[in-house]
A and B are shown apart, each in its own frame.
Chain A
């Protein structure tokens, strides 16, 4: 499994291009998330793909060939933080509810909705953690589940920022020199 991060133009059709590319390279995507960045014109993707290092290199280099992709990077071997978020609707009656609450506490999950016959649990963390919670919830009866897919970020000073447009770069440099 390989994890890639991509900055893309935030406009229609870009997701299609990225997905179409992975399909063309015969690379199976395990999870793909897209969200806006602090710059509204740029979106950030985290792509988790079933492939080896060589496949990830091809995907990374091919992604960067797309006009709408500003940057793509395979971060699989770097120190990184990965998060997945899940909403799990689980069957809960008066009897087993206390037991359920205890498990939820152990996994540092939260109950976000309570109904007479069920609970919705919100949990975030690594894939392993969510899979672990799911495992213990299964005997109670998982009625519904929604997961966001993984987002990832490299740790510490290892920055992965979108490249700047020529204008912005010049503006920054000018600002920098005037500050001196």
Chain B
């Protein structure tokens, strides 16, 4: 059967199980769009190519599959860069397909020509230019294998226009992936494994550090069995949230810069850290010189390049988290850590009293209230997609996730503007799930044009704007570290209700605590997209906080009465 490169691409994507493509057409990708129109694939028209990559990313993270984004050459391709880097830093399997000028004019500065493989080389797991229709199917199959295998990541396939137009004989079985042979490393060094078992069985004060890798490797069950076998307290990274139920007494919550003080203190006092699928990012370690000085460290990690990168570990078990945990669990003999867990509970001290949830309602609306009420109303069952900044940390603190892949957020790159498009992608991945986009007024304004995508695709996504009139996290840093010189952080926003209405989206503005729960209820009952503009306290800060570069135990704690101590009350 003779097909064009464009038709082969659509055929290959269909056979690979793709249902939706998030993209934006243009000259150099037009043959593919023509073929798309004749295929069963659903194309979601975005309003900016950055949105397409975030949607593909949100789709991948919510589903556990691969997200596909598409754009034309030149500016279409360069607009994808932020989304690709976001997926790279958070190990998200995204395949980006870009059109490219004809192979005959490559390198001639033709109209809308840009060296996108050169540009994205350091932010993709792999990228490739296809100049022949014969190579399209094999390359796409390879891209899917690379994106999903090992430590996942984004792959970009740049297809020249002549490769899309040329016709060639198509046979699926003939174009199997042909990746270079890799050295098989012996990851099961018995001595290393035995040492890990010995450390596990002799530790008095163990803490497990749970990361995104647990989700990625599908190790949820294996991880729970491992935790139960040793009764280990679990601290989570931001992207690890959801890998172990929040309601479980062994779950301490999030660690790091905005983790609870007792979680970080437990890490600092531990005699053994078992890091699973996490990479000791500077946001979770604080000052490396004082990080967990009393602890031996076991690192379970699929990426060998992460071993000893930031924190020197005693034992490295390189491999898939699930396989390693399944091997380790039967060897666990020491189960009783009750004295240590009691001690961790004592570390909590008066934290609960200081918690904003325990303080009386004074009529002020705090972001933490909104998130906590959202958690209660959705019983922790919604997929929450957050942007970056203060609201992101409050979400991590006050929305308690019990299931994997229910918190979707940009961790490593910290990409503002991620939430709305990623939420759209998550909704496509899980059409029957309730999806809440929780976003600040700053990040929302970066990608709010995707509201039109929601309308065009008739989606039902709930949007909660945590609106404090500032770029809140930056303002907080200016408050703490720059003597309250609020340079470029006060932020004018449009009236979001009027804006939503202009798109034909139902919307409401909420200014008091009493309105929060009824507002959320009404939004949940509506069988359509609803946007709520929550006008929260302007100068509230996220506590506790480890200042950048400080020791993990050196935290700025919650003030005893934040309601009184915030600037607007003073």
Contact = CB atoms under 8 A, between A and B. Distances in A.
Given A71-B183, A163-B184, A164-B181, A58 B305 contact: yes
B183 A64 contact: yes
A166 interface: yes
A152 B305 CA distance: 23
Contacts of B107: none
A34 B150 CA distance: 28
B183 A163 contact: yes
A16 B121 CA distance: 9
A54 B181 contact: no
Contacts of B179: 67
Interface string B165-191: 000000000000001111110000000
B122 A70 contact: no
B309 A20 contact: no
A57 B309 CA distance: 9
Contacts of B181: 70, 162-166, 168-169
B266 interface: no
Nearest to B117: A13
Contact of B307 (A17, A61, A165): A61
Contacts of A64: 182-183, 304
B308 interface: yes
Nearest to B185: A64
A62 interface: yes
A84 interface: no
Interface string B120-144: 0110011000000000000000000
A24 interface: yes
Interface in A135-179: 162-166, 168-169
B467 to A, nearest CB: 38
A55 B73 CA distance: 37
B121 A17 contact: yes
B182 A70 contact: yes
Nearest to A66: B126
A78 interface: no
Interface in A1-56: 9, 13, 16-17, 20-21, 24, 54
A162 B150 CA distance: 21
A67 B307 contact: no
B303 interface: yes
Contacts, number: 52
Contacts of B146: 67
Contacts of B122: 20-21, 24
A65 interface: yes
Interface residues of B, number: 21
Contacts of A69: 180
Nearest to B304: A61
A58 B121 contact: no
Interface in B99-125: 117-118, 121-122, 125
Contact of A54 (B118, B125, B308): B308
Given A20-B122, A67-B126, A163 B305 contact: no
A68 interface: yes
A67 B181 CA distance: 9
A157 B118 CA distance: 40
A54 B183 CA distance: 21
Interface in B282-330: 303-305, 307-309
B180 A9 contact: yes
A58 B304 CA distance: 8
Contacts of B126: 66-67
Given A16-B121, A17-B121, A67-B146, A58 B180 contact: no
A71 B151 CA distance: 17
A20 B180 contact: no
A71 B150 CA distance: 16
A53 to B, nearest CB: 10
Nearest to B118: A16
Contacts of A58: 305, 309
A141 to B, nearest CB: 42
A109 B183 CA distance: 39
Contacts of B117: 13
B79 to A, nearest CB: 22
Q: Which 10 A-B pairs have the closest CB atoms?
A: A61-B305, A61-B304, A165-B181, A71-B183, A163-B183, A67-B126, A62-B305, A163-B181, A24-B122, A9-B180
20 contacts: A20-B122, A54-B308, A58-B305, A61-B304, A62-B305, A64-B304, A65-B150, A65-B305, A66-B126, A67-B126, A67-B146, A67-B179, A68-B180, A70-B180, A70-B182, A71-B183, A163-B182, A165-B181, A166-B181, A169-B181
